[in-house]
Amino acid sequence: MDGRYRLFFGTDRLAEALNRDPGADPEKQIAAMRDTIRRPNGGGKAFGPARRQPPAMCRPEKIPILRRAIMNLKRLTERVWFYPFEEERDRPNLGYIRGDNWSMAVDAGHSGGHVAEFYGALEREGLPLPLLTVLTHWHWDHTFGMHAVHGLCLAGDRTNAHLADFAERLRNEGAGFFLDMHESIRNEYGDGRPVIVKTADIVCPGEVYFDAGNCPIRVFPAVSPHTDDCLLTEIPGEKTLFLGDACGGVFPTWEKDPDKCRQLALIINATEAEIFLEGHWTPSTKGETLQDLML
Ligand SMILES: [Zn+2]
């Protein structure tokens, strides 16, 4: 395994140990990192694509002191970080890719408050704000922070269409129906902050490559059992793939179309990525990701 691809995990002693071992098995590294990540609200997913349940000792009622704790970025590779997911407010992982010339974020988060916390974590790490934010799909917890992001946003055409529909419904009906959808949404917007929905600045025309400066990034549409507007983001040089909720079922039943699962499995399998980050879970291996997809 090339040293560039070895995992980082902040200044954690585990990461130091892992990084001293150039022959470490990537699957074992990911498993060790996942076990070490402190899940601020217990991990798992009550509202989103729930699949894997956290151990009982990690559930929110067992660790109330960690609720709404300020979180820091987690470092995945030399150039890739993420701001960790949170169950209580249905906040997904937010990705961050640092090129030599500019940076990209993956997903805009649940609200302007979510964006502010993410950017605060970037600032604490001395990392510049993203110039471009790529949206994995249209769901509110991944997109409603878009009005507060720095730079421009990129999304698929169907993502923008879904967002435009949702914005119109908000204009016509007010935010009540949205807040009534789930407790996690009321937790996010419980302080009375306005629900602001906008569309992305740039429509992704298909598969596109960016060069953030010695850091190629591939953004491409994919079939998904979760929504019809899935965009995946691969950082080939870092062997990392951001999946959003692509491996989950349809909201709110979480049913999965087996044919779409098979098509996505082929796409995932064809990548050379070794680190996979789903929207509401900790980093996984390719094998774990495919297993989760096919559940
Ligand atoms: Zn989703």
> How far away, in angstroms, is 48 Cα from ligand 1 center?
6
> How far away, in angstroms, is 130 Cα from ligand 1 center?
22
Residue recorded with tokens 């298909």: 206
> pLDDT by residue (tens digit) across 85-117?
999 999 999 999 999 999 999 999 999 999 999
> How far away, in angstroms, is 226 Cα from ligand 1 center?
7
Sign of CA dihedral 295, 267, 5, 114: negative
Q: How far is CA 24 from CA 7, 184, 288, in A?
A: 10, 39, 18
List the shell of residues around ion ligand 1, using CB closer than 5 Å: 139, 245
> How far away, in angstroms, is 136 Cα from ligand 1 center?
9
pLDDT at residue 44, as a whole number: 38
> pLDDT by residue (tens digit) across 224-244?
999 999 999 999 999 999 999
Residue recorded with tokens 């491996």: 247
The verdict on domain 37-218 having CATH code 3.30.70.360 is no
Q: Where are the domains of the chain?
A: 37-218
> pLDDT by residue (tens digit) across 199-224?
999 999 999 999 999 999 999 999 99
> How far away, in angstroms, is 9 Cα from ligand 1 center?
26
